[in-house]
Amino acid sequence: MTKCLNSLSATAVLLVITWTPVAAQDVLIGSWKLDTGKSTFTPGPSPKTQTLTFGGDKQSVKLQLIEDRKVAASSEFEFNGKTFPVKSSPLFNALSATAKKTPGADFAFEVQWKSVGNVSLNCNAVVAQGSQLLTIVTTGTDANGRTVNNYRVFQKQK
């Protein structure tokens, strides 16, 4: 379950791209691979591999999270704070995403992962200006009542 929570944390972060300007949205579109050496997971363990893939257009973002070669979550959403369904996840059935203005960032956003209408995890994500790095900080409580505090670093794939 911890792996699923960790995966979903990262996924939520990426979903916010929908309402950003086209140039900012282009920064997020593509595949992002987790750098396990630069990431920390509390509680652990960390996934062996994790990839976030983003697609979409000006109106919606499509996200797929692959963890250890299995689809951990997928969603199509807009960056407007409204609730959208999540598929393929045993822990979450919905998410909402909101853009944030952050100095020094090409793109920043917050995602709330929801289970049966309650907020379960909060994710804050930033693509640093001029970089190919996506950083996601996830906080909340997992299905076992443990405190989650994950710091993830993703490298954009070419």
Q: What is the CA radius of gyration of the chain?
A: 14
Residue 156's pLDDT band, with cuts at 50, 70 and 90, is very high
Cα distances (Å, whole numbers) of residue 25 to 14, 20, 36, 57, 61: 10, 6, 25, 8, 9
pLDDT per residue over 63-115, tens digit each?
899 998 899 999 998 888 999 999 998 888 999 998 888 898 988 899 999 98
Residue 53's pLDDT band, with cuts at 50, 70 and 90, is very high
Tell me the three state secondary structure of residue 69: coil
Greater model confidence, 92 or 14: 92
Tell me the three state secondary structure of residue 3: helix
Residues 6+ apart with CB under 8 A from 37: none
CA-CA distance, 61 to 22, in Å (whole number)? 12
**How much is the pLDDT for 18?**
36
Q: State mean pLDDT over 9-13.
A: 43
**How much is the pLDDT for 117?**
55
- 135-151 as b/e: b if 16+ CB within 10 A: bbbbebebeeeeebebe
Q: State mean pLDDT over 55-66.
A: 83
**How much is the pLDDT for 149?**
96
**How much is the pLDDT for 44?**
87
Domains of the chain: 2-156 (2.40.128.20)
Mean pLDDT of the chain: 82
